Amino acid sequence: MPKRSTSPPRPLRLVCIGDTHGFHRRLILPPGDILIHAGDFDGRTLEQVDDFNAWLGTLPFRHKLVISGNHDLLFDRKPELARAHLTEAIYLQDSGVRLEGLNFWGSPVNSVTGWAFAVERGAQIRRHWDLIPEDTDVLITHEAPYGTLDKNDIMSRHQGCQNLLGAVRRVKPKLHVFGHIHGGYGRESAWNMTLINCAVVNNQRVLANAPSVVDLAP
């Protein structure tokens, strides 16, 4: 008997990592459909980008999405060169892609002065967040949204971006993946969405956290 076509689509397994800071080859990644890297792989030199790219090429995911973080300086200083060497991933920079029924959007902008993709909070950074389309299902940013998984330790203040929080509440993606605040690693549900800080290194920049896995139905 033919199967009825009313069954819901199979969820996609997303494996999320960020802030690998040169330790990518030491990661043990679970299987999945789509790999997401939320920035800070340490793409400062062409050699570092080439090594990261070669490692990505060994991974069996159907799609690999990468954004930059404040440490990925080559993508800011020599964007054409850097991007030409990242052949094994889809690179998002205030841009999006539709994959297997899900809309992804990625942005590297952050408020760490003097590093890569630094943009002042307020009106300037809001110009970037305003670009996020309303139909985004998965938002990938390096910066954390204010108030969620954005503290380096329990006593510290929130370090996330208020303007990004505003954008997240406007767009209401199914999933927001970010990193940058290493001590904020974890997962929370809020406003009918999932927020994941996927930083795999801790505050001492020691590889300490597992890749984050999330199943998402298109």
Nearest by Cα to 68 from 103, 102, 35, 108: 108
Number of residues that bind Mn ion (CB under 5 A): 5
Q: Closer CB to Mn ion, residue 40 or residue 137? A: 40
- Check binding of 37 to Mn ion (CB under 5 A): no
Of 22, 32, 43, 69, the one binding Mn ion by CB under 5 A: 69
Other Cβ atoms closer than 10 A to 27: 15
- Check binding of 19 to Mn ion (CB under 5 A): yes
Q: Closer CB to Mn ion, residue 70 or residue 107? A: 70
Nearest by Cα to 173 from 149, 157, 191, 148: 191
| Window of 35-43, 89-97, 117-125, 156-164 that interacts with Mn ion by CB under 5 A | 35-43
Which residue has tokens 């054409």?
A: 80
| Window of 2-10, 55-63, 68-76, 132-140 that interacts with Mn ion by CB under 5 A | 68-76
- Check binding of 184 to Mn ion (CB under 5 A): no
- Check binding of 180 to Mn ion (CB under 5 A): yes
Smallest distance from Mn ion to CB 143, Å:
8
- Check binding of 42 to Mn ion (CB under 5 A): no
Of 14, 38, 40, 151, the one binding Mn ion by CB under 5 A: 40
Q: Which residues contact 31 (CB under 8 A, 6 or more apart)?
A: 13, 15, 60
- Check binding of 24 to Mn ion (CB under 5 A): no
Task: Classify 213 as helix, strand or coil.
Answer: strand
What distance in Å separates the CA atoms of residue 141 and residue 93, rounded to the nearest whole number?
9
3-state helix, strand, coil in the chain (%, to 5): 20, 25, 50
Chain residues in the site for Mn ion (CB under 5 A): 19, 40, 69-70, 180
